[in-house]
A and B are shown apart, each in its own frame.
Chain A
Amino acid sequence: MPIASSLLKKPRLVEKLRKFYDYVQKNDGKVGTKTRGIDLNFNNACNLRCKYCFTNSPKGDHAKDYLDLGAIRKLADEADELGYFEFDLQGGELLLQPDKLFSVLEAIKPERFYLYLTTNGFYLDKKMAKKLANYKVSRVSVSIDSMDEKIHDEIRGRKESWRRAIEGLKHVKDEGMDPYLNITVGHYNANTDHFKQLLDYSKDNNYKTLLNVAVPSGMWQKMTEIICDDKDREYLRKIRKEYKNLVRNIWNPFDRNHEKILGCTTVNRLYVTPLGDVLVCPYVHIKIGNIFESSLKEIVDYGFKIKYFRNHSDLCLAGEDKEFIKKFMTKSGQSIFKPALAKDIFSKEDFVK
């Protein structure tokens, strides 16, 4: 086990995680308004052309914009102060520019966070995995679309994607970081053999499986047919019991019976774009502030004034709540770089006093 990346070598993280646990227990197992994580996309350039990308990377959207290191350092300091314990770096593709990534890691100071990367795994070789572990990265999530190499590569738009991603996960495990196999699940693949093969592979290899529900945003905007229905949700509840390595951000991770719902984590998990815009989550492209204009605390307080994000929801607003999607996620051209503004999209009644 590489010691540097372990929770047991991160006392500040332990403190914050305990506070989060205590809050959730006292709040009937629900996330409420407790701060949890920052999802940071500091640059949107990518080497693949995934059909469902929610950041429009395949279109080259803002590929040359970088969030500067000073701003990232300040963001991380403020997030730590506010009790955020997870830091998820996403892209784009992070490993496309490793020097930039390692500078960002130094700015964030991963010893304070459960810091992880979400990557397509194309450049995740043994040497890279070792270096990430040395930089105190706790987890690496690699997205896999199918156990059929051809299908995965076709969705990703590049040959060798599947093989490299699968190899990458092995390297993550070998270096003692937490290997997460990310699967996107929607109406099109829930309860299929195809989906089950992915679950079994992850379980058999002692990985965790992160389920992201398919969301009609980015390249899939307005494709409401992908949304999980009641039957699909019932199936997800069933497999949660069967596969103990399954994780969904909306599920209570501390529940030993694998039943409780933590609640939709909009604002609890913020998304920061290369322009410094703060969105309520990676998939709901609604802006509640910008880190160059306001402190993180001001942005979070403002976000939690909006009833939809303050109140508990058993459903993922972006991927399951059809009413919310219809009302707030279908504005033409709405993307991470052209988000709807909270002050415009919500009415006075949508805010708590």
Chain B
Amino acid sequence: MTNLEKYKKIFIDTFNIDESKLDSLEYNTITEWDSIGHMTLIAALEEQFKITMETDDVIDLSSFKKGKQILKEKYKLEI
């Protein structure tokens, strides 16, 4: 499984959402992605990619797209 596939799967599993909706997905636009859902997402990303995200990045991760950018630029993941 590629990193992108793993990344997508985390969103799909965490928020029970269809893959086709991922690209436009933003924080607080679905019931599941609330504050608790956000922490669950962060924990899943950290566990999957063996990283510890800084608080600033946890706050900046406000959309599916933004998350990809953060993981790529800050955590040097090929995604």
Chain A interface residues (CB < 8 Å from chain B): 1, 6-9, 11, 13-15, 17-18, 21, 25, 114, 138, 176, 178, 206-208, 244-245, 253-254, 256
Contact = CB atoms under 8 A, between A and B. Distances in A.
B55 A254 contact: no
A146 B32 CA distance: 24
Contact of A11 (B28, B35, B42, B59): B59
Interface residues of B, number: 23
B67 to A, nearest CB: 12
Contacts of A21: 39-40, 43
B31 A8 contact: no
B46 to A, nearest CB: 10
Nearest to B14: A256
B58 interface: yes
Contacts of A13: 35
A254 B32 contact: no
A253 B56 CA distance: 23
A114 B28 CA distance: 14
Interface in B11-64: 13-14, 16, 27-32, 34-36, 38-40, 42-43, 55-56, 58-60, 62
A138 B26 CA distance: 17
Contacts of A176: 28
Given A178-B28, A254-B43, 9 more contacts: A1-B27, A9-B59, A17-B35, A18-B42, A25-B43, A138-B35, A178-B34, A178-B35, A256-B14
B36 A6 contact: no
Interface SS majority for chain B: helix
Interface of B: 13-14, 16, 27-32, 34-36, 38-40, 42-43, 55-56, 58-60, 62
B38 A256 contact: no
B35 to A, nearest CB: 4
Nearest to B13: A256
B28 A208 contact: no
A256 B40 contact: yes
Nearest to A22: B43
Nearest to B43: A21
A11 B27 CA distance: 15
| Most interface-central of B13, B30, B35, B62 (chain A CB within 10 A) | B35
A253 B36 contact: yes
A14 B42 CA distance: 11
For the complex of A and B, list the 9 residue pairs with the smallest distance between their C-beta atoms, beginning with the closest: A7-B35, A253-B36, A21-B39, A206-B31, A254-B40, A245-B31, A8-B59, A14-B58, A17-B39
A37 to B, nearest CB: 13
Contact of B35 (A114, A207, A244, A256): A114
B28 A244 contact: no
B41 to A, nearest CB: 10
B38 A7 contact: yes
A11 B31 contact: no
B30 to A, nearest CB: 7
A207 B36 contact: no
B58 A254 contact: no
